[in-house]
Amino acid sequence: MKKVAFKTLGCRLNQFETDSLVTQFHNAGYEVVEFGKKADVSIINTCTVTNSSDQKSRNYINQASGLSPDGITVVSGCMANHKKEILEKQENITYVVENEQKNDIFNLVDSHFKGELVHPGNLKADVFGFETVEKSLHTRTSIKIQDGCDNFCSFCIIPRVRGRAISRPAADIVDNVKRVIDNGFKEIVLTGVNISRYEYEGLSFKNIVEKIVEVEGDFRVRISSIEPDNFTPDFPDLFHHPKLNPHLHLCLQSGSDNILMKMRRMYSVNSFMGIVESFRKVHPDFNFTTDIIVGFPGETEEDFQQTLNIASRAKFSHIHTFRYSLRNGTRAARMENQIPGKVKTERSEKLRILSEQLEKEYFNSMLQKSQRVLIENPDKNGSAFGYGEHYIPIQIETAGLAKNEFYQVSLKEIKNNRVIGII
Ligand code: SF4
């Protein structure tokens, strides 16, 4: 039995694609081993969003080929699209497979072991051609509904490595949901590159979510990272549906209109806050988390202060802070007034401290309330961990709880950045 190891970097979309490949190799009789163990095949699904994601990808490539010199190393993901020529020259890499052909990696590897060498460029190009996930490395599973992006924000390399926006046929998505529910998953995460731009035969993002929550079964739906540039006023109503988790990771990026314009973001601070307030009016406990870039070219101290103010006003329960990372080939890379690294570090530290404070405030506001927790890790010490529908990390100090089961808990206190829940 051949051994295969996977390493995934970056976003949920990459995670979905890896989980699908894991299922395919597993069903074909391969043993899926932990990355870092010796393997006949190592597949690294890379990310290239920032310089550090490139560096991490390189490290895992070298680790895999170093550990299994007789094995084959397959590099795919966004760095494969972004740095193809460089990667193809590397001797410790057997195959470089771009995102479009990633769905067909099993065919490439299987042919290799049968002695039929296939050029990656001749693999099937289908960004939606992935098998249904049966075996995942996680409790919740992702469903890919969209790929690519037409927004071309000035700092972002993704449209160049994931291509133009494309939406998956609605019937395929609903069928995929039915199959993963049949496979026992209890939470699905809708993912893509710019999912609020979903559009298929007149169906909008709201419409496809409505179709998904209509699927029978005891499961719930989480929406992954979403851009605030295609919301409709009736969107908050959708979240009255019991299957839809009242949490959105809504990407702000900056709290300054001056910087949002330079980023070519398609909303203003006011329209962003309008979305947040429209949700909170209908769902007072609604949980927003976000991404913010600090140190974007030209960002003044005043711009940054506006970002801190808006983050406080929006009451995010968590802020993913990114120090601006210059990506060659993007508009922002050619901008003047690049911010010194020291200033980026100071600003990201301030934002991290604010994020911790806001997280505590949100968790405190949810104490004495009830959450439905999906157990991810029951441990041997008689406690279990999982997330509630509001995406709150909850520790339950009760023995014998089962993995991948729902439990209704009451939130009691906060301990070590986790909320303690009791049944
Ligand atoms: S919306 Fe902007 S940041 Fe998001 S993927 Fe598209 S170009 Fe990148």
Q: Are residues 87 and 186 both part of a single domain?
A: no
143-199 pLDDT per residue, tens: 999 999 999 999 999 999 999 999 999 999 999 999 999 999 999 999 999 999 999
Indicate whether 65 belongs to any domain. Answer: yes
Q: Are residues 21 and 102 both part of a single domain?
A: yes
Nearest-Å Rg of the Cα atoms of the chain is: 22
Is residue 2 over pLDDT 90? yes
How many whole angstroms separate alpha carbon 132 and alpha carbon 264? 36
Query: How far apart are the CA of 256 and the centre of ligand 1, in A?
Result: 18
Q: Are residues 106 and 169 both part of a single domain?
A: no
- Ligand 1 atom closest to the Cα of residue 149 is 6
6-64 pLDDT per residue, tens: 999 999 999 999 999 999 999 999 999 999 999 999 999 999 998 899 999 999 999 99
Pocket of ligand 1, beta carbon within 6 A? 149, 151-153, 156, 158-159, 193-194, 227
Indicate whether 135 belongs to any domain. Answer: no
Q: Are residues 304 and 256 both part of a single domain?
A: yes
Interacting residues of 233 by C-beta distance below 8 A, sequence separation 6+: 278
Question: Which residue out of 154, 227, 290 has the highest number of ligand 1 atoms within 8 Å of its CB and is therefore the one to mutate?
Answer: 227
Q: Are residues 172 and 215 both part of a single domain?
A: yes
- Which amino acid, residue 394? I
Instruction: Tell me the percentage of the chain whose pLDDT exceeds 70.
Output: 99
- Ligand 1 atom closest to the Cα of residue 193 is 5
Q: Which residue minimizes the CA distance to atom 8 of ligand 1?
A: 156
Q: Is 154 helix (H, G, I), strand (E, B) or coil?
A: coil
- Ligand 1 atom closest to the Cα of residue 229 is 1
Indicate whether 45 belongs to any domain. Answer: yes
Indicate whether 129 belongs to any domain. Answer: no
Strands (E), 100-246: 141-144, 146-147, 166-167, 187-191, 199-200, 203-204, 220-223
CATH number of the domain residue 61 falls in? 3.40.50.12160
How many whole angstroms separate alpha carbon 307 and alpha carbon 350? 11
Indicate whether 272 belongs to any domain. Answer: yes
> Using an 8 Å Cβ cutoff, are 395 and 419 in contact?
yes
* pLDDT bracket for residue 328 (50, 70, 90): confident
**Nearest partner of 147 among 74, 60, 78, judged by Cα:** 78
CATH number of the domain residue 314 falls in? 3.80.30.20
Q: Are residues 96 and 147 both part of a single domain?
A: no
Q: Are residues 260 and 159 both part of a single domain?
A: yes
Q: Are residues 233 and 270 both part of a single domain?
A: yes
Question: What's the confidence (pLDDT) of residue 137?
Answer: 62
> Using an 8 Å Cβ cutoff, are 45 and 7 in contact?
yes
How many whole angstroms separate alpha carbon 192 and alpha carbon 11? 9
Question: Which residue out of 13, 49, 152, 153 has the highest number of ligand 1 atoms within 8 Å of its CB and is therefore the one to mutate?
Answer: 153
Indicate whether 134 belongs to any domain. Answer: no
Q: Are residues 240 and 360 both part of a single domain?
A: yes
Q: Are residues 319 and 396 both part of a single domain?
A: no
Q: Are residues 195 and 314 both part of a single domain?
A: yes
Q: Which residue minimizes the CA distance to atom 2 of ligand 1?
A: 153
Indicate whether 127 belongs to any domain. Answer: no
Q: Are residues 361 and 374 both part of a single domain?
A: no
Interacting residues of 381 by C-beta distance below 8 A, sequence separation 6+: none
Query: How far apart are the CA of 44 and the centre of ligand 1, in A?
Result: 23
Question: What's the confidence (pLDDT) of residue 80?
Answer: 98
* pLDDT bracket for residue 210 (50, 70, 90): very high
How many whole angstroms separate alpha carbon 2 and alpha carbon 13? 26
What predicted TM-score, i.e. pTM, was given to this entire model? 0.93
How many whole angstroms separate alpha carbon 70 and alpha carbon 414? 49
Indicate whether 130 belongs to any domain. Answer: no
CATH number of the domain residue 395 falls in? 2.40.50
Calculated CA dihedral for residues 56, 60, 63, 69, nearest 10 degrees: -140
Question: Which residue out of 48, 151, 152 has the highest number of ligand 1 atoms within 8 Å of its CB and is therefore the one to mutate?
Answer: 151
Structural domain range at position 410? 370-422
Q: Which of 87, 122, 157 is the last residue of a domain?
A: 122
Strands (E), 106-204: 141-144, 146-147, 166-167, 187-191, 199-200, 203-204
* pLDDT bracket for residue 223 (50, 70, 90): very high
> Using an 8 Å Cβ cutoff, are 127 and 59 in contact?
no
> Using an 8 Å Cβ cutoff, are 159 and 272 in contact?
no
How many whole angstroms separate alpha carbon 68 and alpha carbon 40? 7
Better pLDDT: 416 or 81 = 81
Number of folded domains in the chain?
3
